[in-house]
Structures are given as C-alpha cells and as structure tokens.
C-alpha cells in the first residue's frame, strides 16, 4: 500500500520586505486516511460484555466507551479522565458511586445515551454472564451481584434466571444496585467498599452498547450470548466494525458523528484522520515484517523474538519525548521499546481428573492433576534462556500472579529455579507415590504441550520446556516410564485454542495476562480464585490439595479491605499458596515493543500498560 501523501496546501504570506514576498506552504489536516495493521489471531467476540481476550478488548477500546478512561498521552494507569461521565462522587462509606453523565452523546444507530442506557448495560452484563468472560469483576462488588455469580458458577440456569430477575426488580423499585436519579444521573451501589471499582468498569466490560440496537437484534436472553452482538457492534466510540472475516481481516470505519471529535482536536489537532483501519490476520512473522518494511502495512505485531533486527538497544527515553526514532535501526520505522509492562506470560496446567484429549480421540487420565508432575515441569523450564533467547531480554522471570511494580506484589515469594535435579526428584515422587506410570500408559505414553499458532514466543517456550523435560527423562537418576515417553509441541489457531482451554481439552498450554485494571485483584482473581477465568479453566477448585474456601476468602477480604497493609498481607498469602501448588509456570513479565512506519504519529501511546491496541482516533500519518 502506498504511503498517504498530503496534497492539499494552504498559502500564507509571512514576510513582505525589500526582498519581496515569501510564502510558507503548510500541509492541511490529514483526512480520509487508511491504516493497515497486521497481527495474529482473531477476537473471540465483538461483545464487550462477553469477550475476554486482548485482541477483542483492543477493538472494544475503539468502538465502545466507558464512563471513565485513562489519560490519552501518558503511562498513568488509573482512570482519571471522564468519558461518558462528566463527574463522579463516592459516598463516605465507599458504597455509592454517583455518576453525572455526558449529554449530547448518541450511539452509532442514533439512540441517545442517558442514565437508562447505563442501567440497561449493567443489567445486561449480569443477565448474559458467560462464566468464561469478564462479568465477574462487576458482579462480585456490585450490590446483589454475588448471588447471580454463585448461580452462574455453582447453580443451574433456573437459578441464574431467578436471582437475576429478583435483582433487576430491586433496581426497578429503586432499592437495588442501580438507581436512575434523572436522565443524566445514576447511582451504582456496591455490596462492600471496593477500591478498584472505577478501574474495573473502565475495562471493556463497562462498555456501553445501544439498548435499542440490542433489542432490535434479539434482545437479552439470560445465560446466553447474542449471536448478532458476538460479531457486530453499536457503541458510542469513534469507530464501528464494518466488516469481519475471521482469519482474514477486521475493518473499522470512522463514525462521522462522533461526539468527542471537536474536543479531541483541541489536544490532538489531527484526530479522526483515519477514515478506515484494516486489521489483517497474518500468522507469518517474516511476512508481517516485510510488509511493514515494504509499505504494505503501517504497523505490525513485531514480536520480541525479532526485536534486535529493528531495536538499537537504546534505553527508553522519557515517554512524553519519545518520537520513535531514538530506538530504531531503520530510518523508515519507529520503535517504542522496553517501557514497563504489567503483562505476564505463564504456562498453565489443567488439573481435572480427566481430559478430552482430541488429538488422541478419547478421554484420558490427566497427568497434570498431580502436583509432583507440575513441580517437575516448573523445575524443568529454563527461565533465563527463555528471557534471554526467546523474548530477547524484554522481561523478567515471573514471581507469581501479581507483577513486579504493582501494588501488592510479593517480592519474597518463592521463585522456581531451572534445576533438573529438583525436577527429577519431583518426577520420581510422582512415579512412586502417585501412580504416574499408569496415567502415562492411559495417554499412550504421549504428553502434548500446546501454544497458539503465530505466537513464536509461546512456541519456543514450549519447545524449551520440552527440552527440559527430555533432560529430566535422560537423567541417570530418573524413574523411567514403562515405555518411551513422547513429548509433542502442538500449535492451535487462537479461537480454537481458547475454547479448548475453556473446555479443559488441553493439559499444558501457554497464554498471557494483560491487565483489565491495574490492581492485584485483577491478577489473583483470574489466576487464583476458583471462579476466576484461568482458575476456572484450569479446574483449580477440583485440584487435589487446594483449599478453595480459604484462598477465595483471602481474595475477597483483600478486595474489600481499605487498609493497604492488610491487603498486602493477604495478597502475599494468596501468592504463596498458588506458587506452592505449582498450578502455573510463571515464565516472564514483559516489556513493550511497538514498531510502526516512520510517517505514523501518536501510536506510541499504545505503550501504556493498559492499552493493548492503539487508540485509532488520535493516530494519523504524514
């Protein structure tokens, strides 16, 4: 694709003197531009209330809007910028949040935004409530929401329907969690004081969808997705999804009547320059890089595995002053590298008694239900090699679910070393005490390590784990299986991969976690709570030796506490418990790497730890 050229000019007379008049040619504001991003994978859903992965949330960030957002041009990770709200007051007891809403906002279908829309959206979240989705972060603190969550995870659909219906009736009566005061004022009541509440509703799950559009396209069915909303969009944001062909591309079109356009241009004069954003799926890293270098793309997912072909190893400049040229080896490309990140990469174990192992075509006994096997694998992973050679030093070894640099991180938590002798000891215990050989026989003496295709870092990490396991099996002191054990590393397309993980069909697989909101609750909740996203997928509650009632209680107590010291102590206990259980291999905590064409501006704000995709309305090309 040829680079956009600015053709229109404005003629300004600036000097008249003895030498005559001389004119300055100044480019007009760019408009009608097309931006091409090439990356990997696909969103799970377009529905912000049910999607729960980073690709889809990056789309939602541009299509749907929340009541508050993050500063547009900083690394600040708390939501201090009003968006669909204009003001907020919190009661002295921390239980009532009163939002004053913005007037004059319309959804993409022309529906006016108001307080009733906010009530509708919060009610829809708890009605549709996919247990593998993000609604937990709303349901748990909101008044009456825990009963709905309990029904979703532990009860029947009838329980969900009954609890939700009663909850909604209380809202309608003015005695529940949501009270519409007037057209532009709404009160949200919590069950307990919850410090990160505003941050949690700034995640995509707090995105506002047009109620009239939802009702015109199937409405709300308790406990169910809406097939239209899973693939189409109708928000208040600057872009609309105009086309989505899975495994090929997503096209975002500019919403011409975007309410914030004029105000945005006071800070970002070229806001709205991108008339269309085309996000292409391209699983081949070399092809992506060549397309960016050749001008066929404006930005690509450039993994840290290939960092030093473009990054010059310069320490990141001050964020506000980095124009992308200081860190690049290529004058035609900009690089924004090694800014602090809160994303962690981890290898997960499914811990149910059995797995539906589709590659073997049958249900098998699960070797990863054994803690000694998980410990052996944790000792067999070469963390230093992974960080140095796979992500090229763009990170540090993980130390439990709460990342370094975040409030509540437990710096004294145990860190598994790469130690083949320790791996052998744990493996031998599993063989002697846990009946591992019989389980391996049931698996036809084959173990599979999974990754999502197109993600070279995860593929290489699983290959590195395989090498460590093989070194363990080759050790003179190891108790060998009854037959030679085959270790396979297998890639699966992203959406299939996610659904296989949710269904418990993959026993050892790798994924990452980017923050929904910058608080330890957003890490221990998904990773450690029995109903949390990864805890639920891993069947943690079914895992032998796991005390879900105690640990879930610590997590709930920490979320409700307003005393920092108490929260830190509780999060320390949670982190110690999950590390001792060897439920995950904490591979690394990442740093940023973003690469774009040299004529692209304002893309660097993606380096904010809370942004996993550019905010396209502020991006432009010259």
What is the model's pLDDT at position 163? 97
- Distance in angstroms (rounded) separating the CA atoms of residues 272 and 327: 27
CATH for 236: 3.90.76.10
**Quick one: 176 and 51 in the same domain?**
yes
**pTM of the predicted model as reported, rounded to 2 decimal places:** 0.80
**Quick one: 453 and 563 in the same domain?**
yes
Bridge partners, residue 302, by sequence: none
**Quick one: 66 and 164 in the same domain?**
yes
**Quick one: 427 and 404 in the same domain?**
yes
- Average pLDDT value for the chain: 92
Q: Per-residue pLDDT averaged across 361-385, rounded?
A: 96
Q: Is the pLDDT of residue 359 over 80?
A: no
Q: Based on the structure, what is the number of domains in the chain?
A: 3
pLDDT digits (tens, 9 = 90+) for 423-451: 999 999 999 999 999 999 999 999 999 99
What is the model's pLDDT at position 132? 87
Q: Is the pLDDT of residue 411 over 70?
A: yes
In a domain, 26, yes or no: no
In a domain, 29, yes or no: no
What is the model's pLDDT at position 289? 98
In a domain, 490, yes or no: yes
Cβ–Cβ under 8 Å, residues 265 and 273 = no
Task: List alpha helices for 269-365, DSSP H.
Answer: 285-293
Q: Is the pLDDT of residue 10 over 60?
A: no
Lowest average pLDDT, out of 261-270, 536-545, 603-612, goes to 603-612
Beta strand ranges found along 221-284 (DSSP E):
239-245, 249-254, 274-281
**Quick one: 180 and 83 in the same domain?**
yes
What is the model's pLDDT at position 599? 97
Domain of residue 289 covers 249-336+593-621
Of 220, 240, 260, the residue at which a domain comes to its end is 240
For 590, phi then psi, to 5°, come to -90, 165
**Quick one: 332 and 424 in the same domain?**
no
Going by DSSP bridges, is the β-strand pair 33-39/299-300 parallel, antiparallel, or unpaired? parallel
In a domain, 22, yes or no: no
What is the model's pLDDT at position 144? 98
pLDDT digits (tens, 9 = 90+) for 33-60: 999 999 999 999 999 999 999 899 999 9
Share of the chain above pLDDT 90, in %: 85
- Distance in angstroms (rounded) separating the CA atoms of residues 533 and 511: 12
CATH for 439: 3.10.105.10
pLDDT digits (tens, 9 = 90+) for 312-335: 999 998 887 889 999 999 999 999
The residue count of the chain comes to 622
Q: Per-residue pLDDT averaged across 200-214, rounded?
A: 97
pLDDT digits (tens, 9 = 90+) for 53-101: 989 999 999 999 999 999 998 888 889 999 999 999 999 999 999 999 9
In a domain, 32, yes or no: no
Q: Is the pLDDT of residue 362 over 90?
A: no
Cβ–Cβ under 8 Å, residues 588 and 395 = yes
What is the model's pLDDT at position 457? 93
pLDDT digits (tens, 9 = 90+) for 169-181: 999 999 999 999 9
Of 210, 240, 270, the residue at which a domain comes to its end is 240
| String of DSSP letters for 181-223 | EETTEEEEEBSS--TTHHHHTTSGGG----HHHHHHTT---TT
Q: Per-residue pLDDT averaged across 570-593, rounded?
A: 97
**Quick one: 330 and 348 in the same domain?**
no
With residues binned 3-state (H G I as helix, E B as strand, rest as coil), the percentages for the chain, rounded to 5, are 35, 25, 40
The pLDDT-based confidence of 270 (bands split at 50, 70, 90) is very high
The pLDDT-based confidence of 27 (bands split at 50, 70, 90) is low
In a domain, 17, yes or no: no
In a domain, 480, yes or no: yes
Q: Is the pLDDT of residue 340 over 90?
A: no
What is the model's pLDDT at position 104? 97
The pLDDT-based confidence of 531 (bands split at 50, 70, 90) is confident
For 508, the 3-state DSSP assignment is strand
**Quick one: 577 and 481 in the same domain?**
yes
The pLDDT-based confidence of 494 (bands split at 50, 70, 90) is confident
Q: Which two tokens stand for residue 235?
A: 């928000």
Of 240, 266, 300, the residue at which a domain comes to its end is 240
**Quick one: 153 and 174 in the same domain?**
yes
**Quick one: 505 and 574 in the same domain?**
yes
What is the model's pLDDT at position 557? 92
CATH for 616: 3.40.190
**Quick one: 128 and 118 in the same domain?**
yes
Lowest average pLDDT, out of 102-116, 286-300, 512-526, goes to 512-526
- Distance in angstroms (rounded) separating the CA atoms of residues 92 and 386: 48
For 351, the 3-state DSSP assignment is coil
Q: Which residue has the tokens 């994924």?
A: 511
**Quick one: 232 and 267 in the same domain?**
no
For 153, phi then psi, to 5°, come to -90, -30
- Distance in angstroms (rounded) separating the CA atoms of residues 412 and 414: 7
Lowest average pLDDT, out of 172-176, 337-341, 582-586, goes to 337-341
Q: Is the pLDDT of residue 467 over 50?
A: yes
What is the model's pLDDT at position 233? 98
In a domain, 436, yes or no: yes
pLDDT top residue among 387 and 609? 387
């Amino acid at each position: 694709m040829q680079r956009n050229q600015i053709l229109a000019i404005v003629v300004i007379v600036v000097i008249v003197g003895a030498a005559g008049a001389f004119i300055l040619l100044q480019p007009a504001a760019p408009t009608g531009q097309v931006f091409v991003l090439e990356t990997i994978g696909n969103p799970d859903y377009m529905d912000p209330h049910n999607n729960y992965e980073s690709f889809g949330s990056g789309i939602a960030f541009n299509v749907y809007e929340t009541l508050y957002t993050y500063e547009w041009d900083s690394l600040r990770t708390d939501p201090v910028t009003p968006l669909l709200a204009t003001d907020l007051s919190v009661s002295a007891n921390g239980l009532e949040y009163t939002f004053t809403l913005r007037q004059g906002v319309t959804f993409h279908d022309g529906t006016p935004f108001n307080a009733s829309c906010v009530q509708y959206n919060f009610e829809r979240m708890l009605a549709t409530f996919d247990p593998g989705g993000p609604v937990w972060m709303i349901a748990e603190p909101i008044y009456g929401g825990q009963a709905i969550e309990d029904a979703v995870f532990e009860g029947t659909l009838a329980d969900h329907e009954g609890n939700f219906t009663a909850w909604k009736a209380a809202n309608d009566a003015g005695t529940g969690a949501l009270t519409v005061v007037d057209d532009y004022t709404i009160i949200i009541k919590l069950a307990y004081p919850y410090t990160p509440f505003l941050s949690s509703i700034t995640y995509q799950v707090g995105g506002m969808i047009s109620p009239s559009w939802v009702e015109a396209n199937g409405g709300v069915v308790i406990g169910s997705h809406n097939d239209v909303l899973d693939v189409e969009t109708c928000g208040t944001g600057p872009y609309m999804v105009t086309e989505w062909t899975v495994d090929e591309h997503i096209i975002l079109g500019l919403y011409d009547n975007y309410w914030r356009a004029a105000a945005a241009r006071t800070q970002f004069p070229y806001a709205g320059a991108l008339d269309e954003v085309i996000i292409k799926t391209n699983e081949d890293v070399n092809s992506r890089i060549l397309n960016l270098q050749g001008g066929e793309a404006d930005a690509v997912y450039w993994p840290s595995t290939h960092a030093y072909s473009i990054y010059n190893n310069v320490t990141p400049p001050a964020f506000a002053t980095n124009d992308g040229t200081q860190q690049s080896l290529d004058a035609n490309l900009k690089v924004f590298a090694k800014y602090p990140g809160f994303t962690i990469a981890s290898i997960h174990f499914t811990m149910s008694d059995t797995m539906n192992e589709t590659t073997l075509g049958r249900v098998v006994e699960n070797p990863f239900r054994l803690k000694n096997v998980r410990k052996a694998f944790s000792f067999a992973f070469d963390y230093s090699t992974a960080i140095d050679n796979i992500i090229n030093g763009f990170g540090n070894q993980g130390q439990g679910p709460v990342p370094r640099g975040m409030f509540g991180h437990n710096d004294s938590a145990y860190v598994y070393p790469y130690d083949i002798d320790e791996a052998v000891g744990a493996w031998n215990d599993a063989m002697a005490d846990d009946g591992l050989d019989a389980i391996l026989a049931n698996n036809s003496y084959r173990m599979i390590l999974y990754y999502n295709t197109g993600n070279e870092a995860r593929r290489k990490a699983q290959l590195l784990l395989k090498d460590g396991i093989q070194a363990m099996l080759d050790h003179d002191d190891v108790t060998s299986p009854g037959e030679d054990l085959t270790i396979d590393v297998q890639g699966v397309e992203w959406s299939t991969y996610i659904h296989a993980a949710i269904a418990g069909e993959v026993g050892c697989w790798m994924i990452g976690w980017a923050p929904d909101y910058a608080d330890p609750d957003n890490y221990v909740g998904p990773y450690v709570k029995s109903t949390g996203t990864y805890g639920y997928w891993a069947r943690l509650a079914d895992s032998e030796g796991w005390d879900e009632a105690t640990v879930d209680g610590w997590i709930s107590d920490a979320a409700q506490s307003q005393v920092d010291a108490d929260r830190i102590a509780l999060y320390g206990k949670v982190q110690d418990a999950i590390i001792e259980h060897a439920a995950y291999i904490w591979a690394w905590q990442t740093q940023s790497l973003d690469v774009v064409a040299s004529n692209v501006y304002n893309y660097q704000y993606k380096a904010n730890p809370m942004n996993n995709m550019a905010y396209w309305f502020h991006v432009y090309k010259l």
